Structure 1
Amino acid sequence: MRTLVARLDSDGDVLLAGPAIRAAAASGEVVLMCGPGGVRAAELLPGVNRIIEWECPWIVNPAPEVRPIDIEAVVALVHGVRADVALVLTSFHQSPLPLALLLRLAGVPKIVARSTDYPGSLLDVRLTGDPDVPEAERALEVARAAGFELPPGDDGRLAVLGPPELELAELSHPYVVVHPGATAPARTWSPDRWAKAVVALNAAGHRVVVTGGPAEAALTAHVAGACGTDLGGRTTFRELSGVLAGAEAVVVGNTGPAHLAVAVGTPVVSLFAPVVPAARWAPHGEHVLLGDQHARCRNSRARECPTPGHPCLDLVEPAEVVAAVAEVTR
């Protein structure tokens, strides 16, 4: 049995597909189709035998041009996979049908997805309704509809391959990780609030390590200031998993490393803006949620905060973060 699993979004989305992928992998080979923003996470997932990277024009942001040659190429690529079944995993605001059409043209004999729209002959198994459940469970329901179950002993939690041994002199235990960045600014705290939280955590006796990608070096330097250790741009995604695994707690916005922290078993203090529902997207593991979940931006899916002052998060005080870290590290 060869299963094609499609999750075309970013790292966090791909990590949340992990339980569904493990269920499919219990019955055979899994080929994971993901976008360029999800490849780093895909490489860490147990059960993935092969990765196909595709920049899908109706998923990624900013969206690339739709060109016939690209569509023909991906159809040919999928045809070469010779999948027995495909699981199309989407968020509640996405349709699986455009991709299902391409998979059908590629000769995939069985396609399973959740769709509120009439799928015609595009889907063989269609889940209807839109349950307000964590995204990882929503994806696992699709796998189960295809006949896959988690193997015995698998609790369905997020998981990644074992983190690497790190040789960073700055990582002196114990420490708390602060990860201030996010691809959507509306989904994280303002930089000055992060910087004040680092000072507050340091004053409370915590050693603070600030993490971020290469494009976030200026942000992490500002946030770390004189009180934190700045690792911005110095770790790969896999190495970041090791940094998070060694932490007592991770303080982070709604972004991929929040889910990576859960996958390595570290509790999360989540600065969570309600632009997407917390019931679906909050960390799928031990966490404390901070932020006004009834703010005006609720369910707007905004990437930039639509309310002056970013009140859903910026009214959270650094002392609340210190208290939340104390709660999850007891």
Structure 2
Amino acid sequence: MTRVLVARQDNLGDVLLAGPCVRAVAAHASHVTLLTGPHGRAAGELLPGVDDVLTWRAPWIDPEPPPVTAADTGAFVELARAGRFDRALVLTSFHQSPLPLALLLRQAGVPWIGAVSEDYPGSLLDLRHRVDGDPPEPERMLSLAEAAGFPLPPDDHGALALRRPLPDTTRLTGGGPYVVVHPAASVPARQPSAAWSRRLVRALVDDGHRVLVTGAPAERE
């Protein structure tokens, strides 16, 4: 019986990108808990291989970070301790450090922790995984699972996936296949301009695709 905690504490899209890594872990573990932030929990609940989801707002990741207090971090340590995890994988973007969370997980008694880390981890990590170049995030996170001894099974295609059955969206999407373009992003540096988004949609249409554009009400224009 191996209980594994997989942490990805960013937004919905970031959590969805962790899906192949989570499935790789689930193929070998008896129980997988996904740790998310409040902005990513809904996506975590849709990932195959997740047995349960824990949510905690990390002060070093959340875009509107709460103050760091002993009461808050102490409550998280006790929450993690109650999970009785045998292993933990801390997933991050290339610009984030896994070490603050690794420190709290050590305090919670997690005996083995792995992460991608450019910084010297001391005794915080058992696996300090290195990644060459700048691969797409799903591949980066999956490589950590493989280095930790959790390869994808041969019948898993390694692509992004959600739990089935998916809800019926015909009322919104109509019939037939389609491509979704979601131009908005929570970080302005990752958001294409309106002109670039129009070029992208036109190129997809010219290539024969039916395109649906999604966004929040404030992004309608």
Q: Same fold (TM over 0.5)?
A: yes
When residues 144 and 218 of structure 1 are mapped into structure 2, their CA distance, relative to the original with a 3 A threshold, is: closer
User: Is structure 2 residue 179 aligned with structure 1 residue 179?
Assistant: no
Tell me which residue corresponds to 1:226.
none
Superposed counterparts of 1:233-252, under 5 Å: none
Residues in 1 aligned to 2:154 and 2:208: alpha-carbon distance in whole angstroms: 42
1:72 to 53, 71, 74: 74
Q: Which amino acid aligns with 1:128?
A: R
When residues 5 and 203 of structure 1 are mapped into structure 2, their CA distance, relative to the original with a 3 A threshold, is: closer
Contact residue 77 and residue 108 of structure 2 kept, 8 A: yes
TM value normalised by structure 1: 0.59
Residues in 2 aligned to 1:172 and 1:87: alpha-carbon distance in whole angstroms: 40
Q: 1:192-245: per-residue Cα shift (whole Å, max 9, x none)?
A: 765788799889997654322xxx21422x2xxxxxxxxxxxxxxxxxxxxxxx
User: Is structure 2 residue 22 aligned with structure 1 residue 21?
Assistant: yes
2:122 to 120, 123, 135: 120
Higher relative contact order (CA 8 A, sep 6+): 2
Residues in 2 aligned to 1:197 and 1:114: alpha-carbon distance in whole angstroms: 33
Q: Secondary structure at the match of 1:168?
A: helix
Superposed counterparts of 1:315-330, under 5 Å: none
Residues in 1 aligned to 2:205 and 2:37: alpha-carbon distance in whole angstroms: 38
Residues in 1 aligned to 2:205 and 2:144: alpha-carbon distance in whole angstroms: 44
User: Which 5+ residue runs of structure 2 have no aligned equivalent?
Assistant: none
Residues in 2 aligned to 1:51 and 1:199: alpha-carbon distance in whole angstroms: 39
Residues in 2 aligned to 1:3 and 1:196: alpha-carbon distance in whole angstroms: 43
When residues 161 and 106 of structure 1 are mapped into structure 2, their CA distance, relative to the original with a 3 A threshold, is: same
- In our comparison, the structure showing a higher alpha carbon Rg is 1
- RMSD across aligned positions (CA): 2.6
Q: Secondary structure at the match of 2:138?
A: helix
Superposed counterparts of 1:190-269, under 5 Å: 190-191=193-194, 194=197, 209-212=212-215, 216-220=216-220, 222=221
When residues 129 and 45 of structure 1 are mapped into structure 2, their CA distance, relative to the original with a 3 A threshold, is: closer
Q: 1:79-123: per-residue Cα shift (whole Å, max 9, x none)?
A: 000001000111211111111110000000111112222211111
Q: Which amino acid aligns with 1:185?
A: P
Q: Which one is further off, 12-21 or 96-105?
A: 12-21
Superposed counterparts of 1:75-86, under 5 Å: 75-86=77-88
Q: Which one is further off, 74-83 or 64-73?
A: 64-73
TM value normalised by structure 2: 0.86
| Identity %, equivalent residues | 55
Q: 1:158-213: per-residue Cα shift (whole Å, max 9, x none)?
A: 1111321235166244655443322123323344765788799889997654322x
When residues 108 and 183 of structure 1 are mapped into structure 2, their CA distance, relative to the original with a 3 A threshold, is: same
Contact residue 191 and residue 219 of structure 1 kept, 8 A: no
When residues 111 and 177 of structure 1 are mapped into structure 2, their CA distance, relative to the original with a 3 A threshold, is: closer
When residues 159 and 167 of structure 1 are mapped into structure 2, their CA distance, relative to the original with a 3 A threshold, is: closer
Tell me which residue corresponds to 1:158.
160
Q: Which one is further off, 23-32 or 152-161?
A: 152-161
Q: Secondary structure at the match of 1:36?
A: coil
Q: Which amino acid aligns with 2:174?
A: L
When residues 66 and 155 of structure 1 are mapped into structure 2, their CA distance, relative to the original with a 3 A threshold, is: same
